[in-house]
Structure 1
Amino acid sequence: MSSGATPELSNEPIAFGQRMQVLRLRRGMSRTVLAGLLGKSPSWVKQVEVGRLQMPKLPMVLRIAEALRVPSLSDLVGEQATTISLFAGPGHARLPYVRDAINEYPLTTVRQAPSAAHLKTRLAHAWQARHSAPHHRDVLGELLPHLIRDAQASLAQAESGVERRVAQSVVSQVYSLSQFFLAYQSDASLLWRVVERGLVSAQESEDPHTIGVAAWLAAQAHRDSGPAHYDAADAVNHATLRYLERCLAEADNDVLAITGALNFEAGYTAARRGDAGTAWRYWDTARSMAERLPASYFHPVTSFSRAIMGAHAVTVAVELHAGGESVRQAAAADVTLIPSRPRSARHRIEEARGYHLDGQAETALAVLDKAYQAAPETIRYNGYARRIVLEETESRSPAQRRRASELAVKIGALVA
């Protein structure tokens, strides 16, 4: 395959290995890196890509799809009938309404904007509703269109420099909330538009906490775009940490929390790279920040708190592909301390990944059942959970196949 011609994967009848190579190159990933993620040798990857080895069985195909972050399995296997979406969840019914509010250009808004204090109260209620809801996108999808339009109107009608900075902070925070609705839906351009607007408004606000939150979300968006974007994630993260260091001497709990959250995110990216020493060092720094917070404190955007550090330890171990350590950390973490249904479900998914890495597939499925009970929508939109469930539908154990198939139907990965 020439470097100057990249086939359109949705149209060209090309072999599995060629598709795998195209997707790997689009991610900016070397054969060595992909091999490490798959537990295979670079030679094995090359032999698959050049067609010397046939397409692997479903469990390995799913691992390749995870490593390459393909949005739909059909992109990798080339079968148009296969429409399993892995890392982009189903489009939410309220997505068009949120999209319209984001795309609206508010220059001609004539209605009176609510006060900044009123908007902050609505934001606080929205976060509270999200954390208590099993289907948080349903809640956010209803609230966001009005919040977005009112926040934009508040910015347009700000008269003084102080009022404008406060309004910019509110706008940025509304965009931050929007990212939790848009994440893992199939409109990447809309998500990035919100990420960039949130960053710009945060900088215009000159508020350290708002800047930290926008940077935290931007770093996640970069990292989730694949290995070629890890440096961009680190650049945002480290620059923001340097900025916040000047504020820590007199920082309130929110600024301490976002600083701790950014430290963990730096560790998360290091773990994705396979750099265990750096990953755990940042986790230790984040834990030190958490210990400076009250025991009952819980950051509404990042979930950063003392309670979350156990869950974060599981994530670091899982991203380092350390199955045994993941299981040990999962046993030490107390999910009942996390006062958020979607965040508790996310932790359960990370636990399941750990058990699956450790070869405990039956336990992984049981934990995913608990994630579904806590917040069905969270598991429905999570590519890692979908991969585990789909892989176990091929299990040699009839009981595990049945359990996995039932869960796959519930989360929409398979049709009954």
Structure 2
Amino acid sequence: MDALPIGRRVAYWRNRRRMSQQVFADRLGKSKSWVDKVERGARRLDKFSVVHEIAEVLQVDMQVLLGEDLERRPEDPNGVDPVEIEGIRAQLERYNHRIAIFDPPSELPPLDEMRKAVAHAWLSFQHARYGMLARTLPRLLRQAQAADSAYGDGPYATEAAHLLGQIEQISAAVLHKLGEYELARIAADRSVLASQRAGDQLLVGVAMKRVSMALLSLGRARSALEINLNVAYRLAPRTGNGDPSPERISVYGILLLQAAVAAARIGDSATSRDLLGAAEEAAQALASDVNHCLTSFGPTNVELYRAAAAVELGEGRMAVQIHDRLDHEGFNTLPAERRAQHYLNQARAQTLINDIEAAGAMLLAADRLAPSEVRCRPLAHELLSDLLRRTRGTPSASLAELATHLSVSV
């Protein structure tokens, strides 16, 4: 797209935002004829103020219109259009809603519609629909930011901040899946701040887990471990405080599990084992795999994290044994995203014990269950590439077909 003139870029993004020329013209305060001439290149865009206004209406960064964005490649092996990631980045970097005192919103965004959108976005994430989320998150972020500004210190300020915190957390989760770890950290940091304004300790706790996941992927395992332990300590059930809610136990438990993986990453098997034990004790208080606070915390998920920690410690055989003894009924109640992620971990475990055929079977199982977990994740692409290099002879037809689809060399 770098070679396209700016008028063609404007037309491209107008179509991406599903705006007609007339609607676009109305929002700019221009005529439809003016828009048509700009898009055809018959009229030059040589004023900074006009380009800035167009970027505002289209909700894209000015550099995108000026020719410094990524090329759109629908066939991209990551399964997500790179310009969608740039759209999320641009929206996270917008500060209009943070300085709304200069330009207060003229109308209040409808919170009831936002609640439905947030619930649908969480459901989409747990079904591993990352491509769809990448396309919708810029708009959801924009709406949530506008609501957070519009409701200010009024009676609905807390709810608006809560919705923004959730959207930013979903953004962090999706960006992490797509390998955009630094951007995921920024989104998670923003979620922590919004969740604090909402006064929701549990939402803060889950947002901090997202921060730690990004740090872990950025190679900062000790910082990730410290964050999880600090927040888990503050949420820990305490004697004399009455029976903690299942929601509080779930957030406390998932923080312990994330800390256990971080400890395993730095080779501290004793700490990892102790944290898994504490999480198992917390899960026993729940007695079932109920998805409180969208954590999927419960007895089965403890075992999945135990297997993940074993992989981090290089104990592939132990990770496979944990998988073999899983409670299948409990496993099948977990979201597709969580189960597919476990299959990827099991593929890594099988490679550690040099069972390449079994590793391929696990990768294909993940692809059947939640295709985006494999097709959108750089981690899965690297795993597939490694499996193909280590396969003796010709890979299976299914694995070769997946490699072709992902543009991974066989």
Give the alignment's TM-score, normalised by structure 1: 0.70
Q: Which amino acid aligns with 1:363?
A: A
Q: CA deviation at 1:181?
A: 2.0
Separation in 2, partners of 1:140, 1:89: 12
Q: 1:381 to 1:154 in 2, by over 3 A?
A: same
Residue 191 (structure 1) aligned with residue 187 (structure 2): no
Residue 285 (structure 1) aligned with residue 281 (structure 2): no
Q: Deviations over 1:104-157 (max 9, x none)?
A: 323343342122x55334322221233235xx1123124323322222122212
Name the structure 1 match of 2:50: none
Does 401-410 or 231-240 show the bigger shift?
A: 401-410
* Among candidates 83, 88, 95, match of residue 98 of structure 1: 88
Q: What's the secondary structure of 1:400's corresponding residue?
A: coil
Residue 127 (structure 1) aligned with residue 117 (structure 2): no
Q: What's the secondary structure of 1:325's corresponding residue?
A: helix
Q: 1:162 to 1:281 in 2, by over 3 A?
A: farther
* Among candidates 179, 195, 201, match of residue 202 of structure 1: 195
Q: 1:232 to 1:394 in 2, by over 3 A?
A: closer
Q: CA deviation at 1:381?
A: 3.8
Separation in 2, partners of 1:317, 1:245: 25
Separation in 2, partners of 1:368, 1:189: 26
Q: State whether residues 119 and 170 of structure 1, in contact with CA within 8 Å, keep that contact through their aligned partners in structure 2.
A: yes
Separation in 1, partners of 2:289, 2:341: 20
Q: CA deviation at 1:349?
A: 0.7
Q: What's the secondary structure of 1:309's corresponding residue?
A: helix
Separation in 2, partners of 1:187, 1:264: 22
Unmatched 5+ stretches in structure 1: 1-84
Q: Deviations over 1:71-127 (max 9, x none)?
A: xxxxxxxxxxxxxx99x9865453233334333323343342122x55334322221
Separation in 2, partners of 1:111, 1:255: 36
Q: CA deviation at 1:214?
A: 1.0
Give the alignment's TM-score, normalised by structure 2: 0.71
Unmatched 5+ stretches in structure 2: 1-75
Name the structure 2 match of 1:326: 319
Q: Which amino acid aligns with 1:169?
A: H
How many pairs were matched up? 325
Separation in 1, partners of 2:182, 2:304: 30
Q: State whether residues 393 and 400 of structure 1, in contact with CA within 8 Å, keep that contact through their aligned partners in structure 2.
A: yes
Residue 274 (structure 1) aligned with residue 270 (structure 2): no
Q: 1:380 to 1:298 in 2, by over 3 A?
A: same
Q: 1:399 to 1:192 in 2, by over 3 A?
A: same
Name the structure 2 match of 1:137: 130
Q: 1:187 to 1:343 in 2, by over 3 A?
A: closer
Q: State whether residues 101 and 145 of structure 1, in contact with CA within 8 Å, keep that contact through their aligned partners in structure 2.
A: yes
Q: What's the secondary structure of 1:413's corresponding residue?
A: coil
The sequence identity of aligned pairs, in percent, is 23
* Among candidates 229, 237, 251, match of residue 228 of structure 2: 237
Name the structure 2 match of 1:114: 110
Q: Whose Rg is larger? A: 2
Separation in 2, partners of 1:161, 1:111: 14
Q: Which amino acid aligns with 1:361?
A: I
Q: State whether residues 89 and 185 of structure 1, in contact with CA within 8 Å, keep that contact through their aligned partners in structure 2.
A: no
Name the structure 2 match of 1:16: none
Runs of at least 4 residues off by over 6 Å:
none
Q: CA deviation at 1:208?
A: 1.1
Name the structure 1 match of 2:336: 341
Name the structure 2 match of 1:355: 350
